[in-house]
Structure 1
Amino acid sequence: MANRFGFVREIQRAVSVSEIKEAYYGTVGDVVPADGIGIYRFAADGVPADASSNLSEDFMASYEAEGRHDDPVLDAVVENVLPADSTHVVHTRRWHDSAARAVLLGENLGHSLEAPIIVAGEVAGTLNFARGVDVNNFSLEDLTAARFASEHLSLALERAHRFEAVGDRADLLGGALNHLSQMVVVADVEGERVFSSRKFETRYPPTVVALVDCVLVDFAESGKHAQTVNVRDDVSGQRIIVKCSLAQSHDAIVGVVFECADDDDSSLPSWDVLSPREQEIARYVSQGMTTREIAEKAFVSQNTVKQHIKRIFAKTDVHSRAELVQFIWASQGRG
């Protein structure tokens, strides 16, 4: 039992597929004693996409060329989705006449045991064990131990595949966020920053970055769904707006960072996300003007004003004129 505990501990510690394989080779011999140990992972068509073992490269090449297509132990594993061995599950005559046994004999091995790797309900590969010709064959206890090992390794591989998929999605999302004109930060529900766009990372000194981290933590602890704050870094003198929102899934916090105008400047903040015309329209909105009044002031049609306001809402992530006014006031330290 202690041997099994060590195997499970090392397998569960591993994160990537390569780490899982390393843990497997380092500990599975304590669970299923064997002279030859291997692991196969199948592609969608059942052909091995990744195969390795502690045996020679010549053996691996011979098994792939001659043995795998006539391996009754492998056939039994795939058909029954259970561990199988060359003594208790496969008929003795069938095993002795197989090409797989002939290949094993080339390495002075004579007994085979395999167990399925199950990922997403499908046989995704096998754990492979072999013992020498002059060694005792595999027992029923070995079959049980192999099933134990395969179940835990299967769970670890499923976890690794999810981890890799999440990593791929995160890379894709990060690439998209890096192309936005806004400076974006993402934190977990406790406020710990897990992503920041390249523009944010390169624009501000460490003191401003630390200030944003504090804003994220404060927002996480506030329990609010949205909040806009105006903060100043005492070291650099930089003043910024951080607009925080709780994701719809409630599992992340998204923050958008804007630069503010100086304290003695009554104009809008110099947001890179707004064009000069959009800043002009936003300023008129903050003064309480109607759409008609803004159109007359800016010498454009009312429909053009509405389109500008729509774009301003999208770029600043607000949903009403009142929220836009509050956002503008916050940027000027008037909130």
Structure 2
Amino acid sequence: MANLQSLFHAIASASDERKLRLAFMDEVGKYFGVQRWGIYLTDEQSRLASVDVHGVPDSLVERYEQVGRAVDPVMRYVVKRHAPAHEELVLPPGGWKQCELYQHCCAYYDHEHIMTGPIVGGGRLIGTINFARVGNTPAFNVENLADLSALCLHLSACLAMLQQQPQRFYSTLTNRLTPRELQIAELVAQGLTNAEIGTKLWITENSVKQALKRMFRKLEVVNRAEMVARLQDVLSA
């Protein structure tokens, strides 16, 4: 597992929230030995505001929100204590595969082990870092938990600092899209096809199509040309 110091430096060097999320999403997997990860941010009413994930299908995000979040013992621990946790910390031995979260959500997507950490700001939980290991992989341990705690501190501090800075005039527009969606938009602007974008980002062509549909809805446009025009100032920044 790689040294976390370089990840902390990448986070601290981010000049805006978009670059912060990109630094996290592009690098964090190799530090924690996870196959799937993401950042979930909430609004002031604790409702899900944005999701940025790696290796996680849209159907899993939807299923978790529908049937998983309400029965997630790890998330319950994080919300209550503002401290990171994994399934073996909060459940008795053998309890993970018997719990509702695993049986009704994680088992469908081969999530054998999960770990969640808090993102905090203004005295409240404003989001979470979520990790999952799939297949025949080891459970998270005490060292993983300590490393996630340190990562949460750095990410929370950097996010708080960036949110206090004056926002650029297009910030509302860019905040509608995740860093991954902005990557796709940039490649669309370069003239790449869905298949070429998928190859470049290591995702399926269908994932690109579905992402573009979501992006069109968020930006209130109907095609690629309108999307690029609407994001012209963002993509050239």
Q: Does structure 1 conserve the Cα–Cα contact (< 8 Å) formed by 2:115 and 2:131?
A: yes
Aligned-pair CA distance for 1:30: 3.2
Listed as ranges, the gaps of 5+ residues in structure 2 are 170-237
Percent same amino acid among aligned pairs? 25
TM-score relative to the length of structure 1: 0.47
Q: Specify the alignment match of 2:62 in structure 1.
A: 61
1: CA distance, partners of 2:100 / 2:21: 27
Equivalent pair of 1:73/1:85 in contact (CA under 8 Å):
yes
More helix by share: 2
Aligned to 2:115: 113
**1:45 is aligned with what amino acid?**
Q
> What residue number does 1:6 align with?
6
Say which of 136, 139, 149 aligns to 2:138: 136
CA spacing shift, 1:52–1:92, aligned 2, 3 Å: farther
Q: Are the equivalent residues in 2 in contact too, given 1:110–1:133 (CA < 8 A)?
A: yes
The answer to whether the Cα contact below 8 Å between 2:41 and 2:126 also exists between their aligned partners in 1 is yes
| TM-score under structure 2 length normalisation | 0.65
Deviation digits for residues 240-276 of structure 1 (CA, Å, limit 9, x no counterpart): xxxxxxxxxxxxxxxxxxxxxxxxxxxxxxxxxxxxx
Match of 1:156, SS? helix
The gaps in structure 1 that reach 5 residues or longer are 170-335
The aligned runs of 1:74-89 (5 Å cut-off) are 74-89=75-90
Q: Contact 1:31 / 1:146 at 8 angstroms: preserved in 2?
A: no
Q: Which residue number corresponds to residue 51 of structure 1? A: 51
Paired amino acid for 1:125: G
8 Å CA contact retained: 1:4, 1:30: no
| Aligned counterparts of 2:92 and 2:82: Cα–Cα separation in 1 | 18
- Map 1:216-227; keep pairs closer than 5 Å: none
Give 1:105 shift. Answer: 1.7
- Structure 2 equivalent of residue 160 of structure 1: 162
Task: Give the length in aligned residue pairs.
Answer: 168
Q: Which residue of 2 aligns with 1:32?
A: 32
What is the distance in 1 between the residues matched to 2:71 and 2:51? Answer: 17
Amino acid aligned to 1:134? N
2:99 counterpart letter in structure 1: S
- Structure number with the bigger relative contact order (C-alpha 8 A, sep ≥ 6) is 2
Give a deviation string over 1:122-156, Cα, whole Å, max 9, x none.
11111000112421000110000110111111011
Residue identity in the other structure for 1:21: R
> What SS class does the counterpart of residue 142 from structure 1 fall into?
helix
State the Cα distance separating 1:91 from its structure 2 match: 3.1
1:52 Cα shift?
2.2
Q: Select 1:125's aligned residue among 119, 124, 127.
A: 127
Contact 1:109 1:130 in 2 (8 A): yes
Distance change in 2, residues 1:139/1:52 (3 Å)? same
CA distance in 2, matches of 1:142, 1:65: 28
- Contact 1:4-1:31 at 8 Å conserved across structures: yes
Residue range with higher mean Cα deviation, 30-39 or 90-99: 90-99
1:150 equivalent in structure 2: 152
Residues 162-311 of structure 1 aligned to structure 2 (within 5 Å): 162-163=164-165, 166-167=166-167
Q: Does 1:100 align with 2:101?
A: yes
SS of structure 1 residue aligned to 2:109: coil
Segments of 4+ moved more than 6 angstroms:
none
The CA RMSD measured in Å over matched residues stands at 2.2
More strand, by proportion: 1
Shift of the 137–2 alpha-carbon distance from structure 1 to 2, 3 Å rule, reads: closer
